[in-house]
Amino acid sequence: MDKLDQYRVFVQVAEMGSFIKAAHALTLPRATVSAAIQQLEEKIGTRLLNRTTRQVHLTADGVQLLARLRPLLADAEDVEHLFQSSQRQVAGRLRIDVPSRIARRLVVPALPSLLRRYPRLQLVLGSSDRAVDLLQEGVDCVVRVGALHDSSLVVRPLGHIALVNCASPAYLREHGIPEKPADLLKGHWAIGYASPSSGRELPWEYLDASGQSQELTLPSRIVVNNAETYIAGCRGGNGLIQIPRFDVKHLLDRSELVEVMPAHRASPMPVSLLYPHRRQRSRRLVAFVEWFSGLMEPHLERGA
């Protein structure tokens, strides 16, 4: 393994805090990763990592080296692809994580076009409703819907997606059609959605006449923690839900669900792409970001 590859291994171990996780991300044996770090430390003449039984921490020298290597490796990748055609520049493995319903409804059906454009790209697609730790889990890019709290990550806002209030025809026949938020407190049920991060059941939200966001606490007989079950519960007639419009458009078009109170929707939710270290963006990451931005554009609110 040459010195540049050793640098790449070091950066992966440093950012993930684990030899095992780094080996998995690099698709290398753990012994190879350990040997690369040991050889690098011997060549440089200083310890870069402090190892414990459970975690790996950077030394002061390791912190300095990591800061220098990030832009160096980004430049090295640019040089390697400098004289290749634009199609062939996008190659290698890209790890992304996308909310489960965006993955299923939008990303996966559109993947053939992305892979035809970049045949040397390998996409490792995670789909979950939790906030993954990019560095600890070796993820290159995540899609997040809602307010953001990651100050250390690069954020690319894409826009806002509309939320709609929905129920099944069977539910509405039994409980009536609510016309305004106050009607929800007269014998209606919501399907509760527990935040994947806090476990707290989220309130029912709506915009009042002045455009201010308001909340209601509605009774729920079912509380779920993922979007698939949330929609299935609504289709089964168990209660009302608030859901991104793109997620149920096919069900609304087939009248399997019905939108209610269209004048009292919740605030549109921001959708963003997040990735670490602006100077480390690989060509494959840039290609995915541009492709996904175009994929989401038809589903974003105009002027939001």
- For the entire predicted model, the pTM comes to 0.68
Q: How far apart are CA 277 and CA 35, in angstroms?
A: 27
Topology, domain 3-80 = Arc Repressor Mutant, subunit A (1.10.10)
Residue ranges of the chain whose pLDDT lies below 50 = 87, 279
What residue ranges of the chain are covered by domains with CATH 3.40.190.10? 86-159+270-299, 163-267
Per-residue pLDDT at 166: 97
What residue ranges of the chain are covered by domains with CATH 1.10.10.10? 3-80
Per-residue pLDDT at 170: 97
Per-residue pLDDT at 114: 93
Per-residue pLDDT at 150: 58
Residue 2 neighbours by CB under 8 Å, 6+ apart = none
DSSP per residue over 103-126, as a string? Answer: IIIIIHHHHHHHHHH-TTEEEEEE
244, 161 contact by CB (below 8 A): yes
Per-residue pLDDT at 278: 55
Q: Domain 86-159+270-299 in CATH: superfamily?
A: Periplasmic binding protein-like II (3.40.190.10)
CATH code at 163-267: 3.40.190.10
Phi and psi of 265, rounded to 5°? -80, 165
Reading the block at residue 217, the tokens are 């606490």
270, 146 contact by CB (below 8 A): yes
3-state secondary structure of 78: helix
Give the single-character DSSP code of 1.
Answer: -
